[in-house]
């Protein structure tokens, strides 16, 4: 598994049975939890830092989508803030 983190190549991920969509979605959701409010360029820069392999580049739009979806406050959270 250590090789995956060193190489970060799609073929390494595939050999371990990992799915690109699940991988970038999970990462983007975690990034959104820690760092909200980035614009598209900022999210794309984070993606390149997390996924430096050129083979991962086609997934940047999926990463951005997942990030922005995870960044939207949930209705319950908005109500709790409004009540405070």
Cα 60 to Cα 47: distance, rounded to the nearest angstrom: 6
Cα 49 to Cα 35: distance, rounded to the nearest angstrom: 15
End-to-end, the C-alpha distance of the chain in Å comes to 46
Backbone φ, ψ for residue 73 (5° rounding): -60, 140
Cα 53 to Cα 56: distance, rounded to the nearest angstrom: 5
Cα 34 to Cα 59: distance, rounded to the nearest angstrom: 21
pLDDT at 48 over 90: yes
pLDDT at 6 over 50: no
Predicted confidence at residue 46, as pLDDT, reads 97
- pTM > 0.85: no
């Amino acid at each position: 598994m250590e090789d995956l983190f060193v190489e970060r190549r799609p073929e390494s991920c595939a050999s371990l049975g990992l799915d690109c969509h699940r991988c970038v979605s999970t990462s983007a959701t975690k990034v959104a939890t820690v760092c909200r409010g980035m614009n598209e360029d900022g999210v794309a820069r984070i993606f390149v830092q997390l996924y430096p392999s050129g083979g991962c580049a086609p997934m940047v739009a999926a990463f951005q989508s997942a990030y922005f979806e995870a960044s939207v406050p949930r209705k319950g959270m908005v109500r709790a803030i409004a009540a405070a």
